[in-house]
Amino acid sequence: MTPIDVGVLISGRGSNLQAILDAIAADELAAQVRVVISNRPKAAGLQRAAAAGVPTQFIGHRQFPDRESFDGALVEALRAAQVSWVVLAGFMRILTPVFLDAFPNRVVNIHPALLPAFPGVDAQTQALAYGVRVTGCTVHLVNEGVDTGPILAQVAVPVLQDDDHDSLAARILEQEHRLLVETLQRIALAGLTIDQPPESGGRPKVRFGSGP
Ligand code: GRF
């Protein structure tokens, strides 16, 4: 089986990136990370990538006049690295069609809530403020909305009585690492098929595997 070629976009800590790198090293994920790109020069994830021998690049969004030209530079770098899948692992920028059309149905994001609940920034604070008893994490394909793309996989995580942001975020993060790796492995092993909704409406549905 041929490993999938992945580019990872980050903005910070990079613990999900680390989970991917560790799973590859342990032969639990049939992938190769071809490049890690950060829009922040000091993102800790850049060191994690370098330590694993993965090429890194800093592409600062402030160097570009608009989102489209920033996205164009990302696409160029990812194409140069010959990636076929892109993973957003804590990447804090919204992507435009310039990017999404270059990798149609090939951009995967990890979000720390059970979408469609609590999209956008600081999903853990949103969950605590709402008072839900269960939250979790979601791996989904990226579309033009904020955390609105087709859902690939989810895991529920309990909210405990004494939770604060950090304790809840840590409990979710543990599951994020597992879910992201598992989902990428399912993609690597089986591929993904997108079923478009009927004309009467609905959302595209994704399933692992190929064919009807
Ligand atoms: C994770 O909680 C992820 O779900 C969210 O951003 C955070 C990134 O963490 N999109 P890390 O950089 O992977 O440690």
* pLDDT tens digits along 113-144: 999 999 999 999 999 999 999 999 999 999 99
Q: How far is CA 141 from CA 132, 145, 183, in A?
A: 25, 11, 11
Q: How far is the CA of 204 from the centre of ligand 1 (A)?
A: 25
Please say whether the beta carbons of 171 and 157 come within 8 A.
yes
CA gap 169, 36 in Å, rounded: 24
> pLDDT tens for residues 9-68?
999 999 999 999 999 999 999 999 999 999 999 999 999 999 999 999 999 999 999 999
Q: How far is CA 170 from CA 33, 38, 103, 136, in A?
A: 25, 23, 31, 11
The reported pLDDT for the residue numbered 212 is 72
Q: How far is the CA of 184 from the centre of ligand 1 (A)?
A: 16
**CB of 112 closer than 6 angstroms to any ligand 1 atom:** yes
Percent above pLDDT 70 for the chain? 100
**What architecture is domain 1-104?**
3-Layer(aba) Sandwich (3.40)
**CB of 90 closer than 6 angstroms to any ligand 1 atom:** yes
Tokens at residue 151, please?
């859902």
CATH fold of the domain at 109-212: Rossmann fold (3.40.50)
Q: Which residue's alpha carbon is nearest to atom 7 within ligand 1?
A: 90
**Residues with catalytic roles:** 111
**Burial of 141 by CB count in 10 Å (0-12 exposed, 13-18 middle, 19+ buried)?**
buried
Residue 1 has pLDDT above 90, yes or no: no
Domain spans in the chain, listed from the N-terminal domain onward: 1-104, 109-212
Q: How far is the CA of 211 from the centre of ligand 1 (A)?
A: 33
Cα–Cα nearest to 173, from 51, 12, 47, 52:
12
The reported pLDDT for the residue numbered 105 is 96
Average pLDDT, the chain: 97
**CB of 7 closer than 6 angstroms to any ligand 1 atom:** no
**CB of 136 closer than 6 angstroms to any ligand 1 atom:** no
